[in-house]
Amino acid sequence: MFGLMRGSARLIAQDKTGFPDGFDAIEAAPQSHKVLFENAIVRVLQVEVAPGTKEPMHHHRWPSLFLNWDSGGRTAHIRITHGDGSVHDVPSRETPATPGSWRVTWMKPEAMHSIENLETPESAATLAKRPPTIRVEFKYAG
């Protein structure tokens, strides 16, 4: 059973369908994706979309963990544009302030998309202060 699961993970990590060359996040959207560490097994990215900016279309072909410091407060208003042209609007929301804790989210590989931060520099000043998001991508290493 373990061998079957391990083989499936390799296939998912290696599959390039829907993940065209030249559109990897660090190639296509370097303003918002910075490599903090990389080896044959993982790539650790700092991800931050500045207020009033829209990333170029890009993808993440490997499964990953998203690490966010969540201290509550107002969240940014963002818009996600998918490779098929569909748009998903994520309005700002207000949540109670908390002492803060790490939130970890499992992410499957993400096909072509773009994130737009709809905040202005002025409205962003009212957002809760958070460090950039960290994304740990799990690469095929065999």
Distances 70 to 4, 11, 17, 18, 96 between C-alpha atoms, Å: 36, 33, 34, 32, 11
Architecture of domain 2-138: Sandwich (2.60)
Q: What is the pLDDT of residue 5?
A: 42
Q: Where are the domains of the chain?
A: 2-138
**Residue-wise pLDDT tens digits, 57-67:** 999 999 999 99
Low-confidence residues of the chain, pLDDT below 50? 1-13
**Residue-wise pLDDT tens digits, 124-138:** 988 888 899 999 999
